[in-house]
Amino acid sequence: MPGLSCYELRSEFPELERGVVYLDNAASTLKPRRVVEAMREFSYRSYANVHRGVHRLSIEASKAYEEAQDVVARLVGGSWDEVVFTRNTTEAMQLAALTLAYNGLLRGGEVLVTAGDHHSTLLPWVRAARLGGGRARILPLDGRGVPRWDLLDDYVTEDTRVVAVGHVSNVTGAVAPVEDVVRAARRVSALVVLDSAQGVPHLPVDFRRMGVDMAAFSGHKMLGPTGIGVLWARRDLLEELEPPLGGGGTVSRVRLKGGSVEIEWEEPPWKFEAGTPPIIEAVGLAEAAEMLMEIGMERVAEHEDELTGYTMKLLEPLYREGLIRYVGPDNPGERHGIVSITTHLKSPDELGLLLDRKGIAVRTGLHCAHILHDHVGASTGSVRASFYIYNCKEDAERLAEALEEILTTRR
């Protein structure tokens, strides 16, 4: 399989013409022309509200919207009616957690999360577990900030109702052993919910084959627009569960009977999409997913692995001299597409600002993973470089040169 040509891809991303070395992809990726054009074209020619209105524009818009669900489903291994569009990963996770709580599936039991999870996973599940009269159990981390997956079998018990964990850490880049998680959960008939915000954009995934029950991800982290995320869930689950949010689009019929309101829910995915959904954004996300499938997710993953390894090789002298420390594994083979560091010489924000002066965009701070940072002794945060398809080796070289200059120049 030929490698991915980052050089050819770069012309698709006008923002790169500003000369910035963009290494903030775990926060949000840049937008290719074809995604912006698809949204523009749809807005100018076919836009109307969806939900199968009778006029031609609404029919066209509904078709485009449902096609977008189908394209996204193809990317993650499911069917179109398993794709619920939300606002982002955070909202998708809240929807998953509230749905299970609302349907009594958490009652008196435990939800297993890890101490390394993003707040978008941690907070909805901790709160939903409490709402269900149960509690969250927290899988601890090792010294590198990676969950102690070796303890899974002790932490998943007869009380476990759900295992809700991150697929790829947005801080350490460590990939969860999803097969082991699914096996442990199946043993006690618990559901597996995956925060795949850093998974779907970067790795080949097939949720059905992986045995996952629900998964969440965001459009803006995979070349798509902001304002759209996805909750993917097994069709039979969506069918049997009542949505926690009601409203326009979720019902096929509402009647007043004997003084009470009787509700007939729509089919999935509509019964989970309350109110007008992100229609233009769905068209943009579908274009982004098409582009990723054309490139091939194996190639995307290989390219990012190569850049991760190359960056860590370039940073080796700074690491050996003790000028930087990694948050997460110091073996590049154990992290995917993300290199987070700390240094005793500068605060994360200070280092980020100095890198910005050299035209390098990285993310600094606690990356919505406070417990993880506290655990590894980095309670003021870290500096994170994260890669995507349009990053080339030169970007890693610019980062390493800049870090060396900043951290080794005596003042």
d(Cα 265, Cα 274) in Å, to the nearest integer? 11
Contact 166, 118 (CB under 8 A): yes
Binder among 9, 21, 23, 26 for ligand PMP (CB under 6 A): 26
- Provide the token pair at 306: 């190569």
Q: How many CA atoms lie within 13 A of 89 on its CB side?
A: 30
Strands 191-195 and 135-139: unpaired
* Residue 25 is a binding residue for ligand PMP (CB under 6 A): no
Nearer to ligand PMP, 89 or 114 (CB): 89
Binder among 25, 29, 46, 88 for ligand PMP (CB under 6 A): 88
Contact 194, 77 (CB under 8 A): no
Nearer to ligand PMP, 134 or 166 (CB): 166
d(Cα 293, Cα 231) in Å, to the nearest integer? 19
User: How near is the Cβ of 297 to ligand PMP at its closest, in Å?
Assistant: 18
Nearer to ligand PMP, 109 or 225 (CB): 225
Q: Identify which range of 84-92, 134-142, 352-360, 393-401 contacts ligand PMP by CB under 6 A.
A: 84-92
Nearer to ligand PMP, 32 or 166 (CB): 166
* Residue 86 is a binding residue for ligand PMP (CB under 6 A): no
Nearer to ligand PMP, 69 or 340 (CB): 340
Binder among 29, 46, 90, 343 for ligand PMP (CB under 6 A): 90
Catalytic residue of the set 245, 314, 361, 368 = 368
Gyration radius of the chain over CA positions? 22
Query: Nearest CA to 139 among 379, 397, 375?
Result: 375
* Residue 84 is a binding residue for ligand PMP (CB under 6 A): no
Site residues for ligand PMP, 234-273, by CB under 6 A, read: none
Nearer to ligand PMP, 175 or 315 (CB): 175
Strands, E assignment, 77-236? 83-86, 110-114, 135-139, 160-166, 191-195, 214-218, 229-233
* Residue 166 is a binding residue for ligand PMP (CB under 6 A): yes
Sign (positive or negative) of CA dihedral 262, 266, 269, 275: negative
Q: How many residues bind ligand PMP (CB under 6 A)?
A: 15
Binder among 29, 69, 170, 386 for ligand PMP (CB under 6 A): 170
Q: How many CA atoms lie within 13 A of 288 on its CB side?
A: 31
Sign (positive or negative) of CA dihedral 398, 403, 408, 410: positive
* Residue 195 is a binding residue for ligand PMP (CB under 6 A): yes
d(Cα 298, Cα 207) in Å, to the nearest integer? 16
Q: Is 368 marked active-site?
A: yes
Interface with ligand PMP by CB under 6 A: which residues? 26-27, 88-90, 118, 120, 166, 170, 195, 197-198, 218, 229, 368
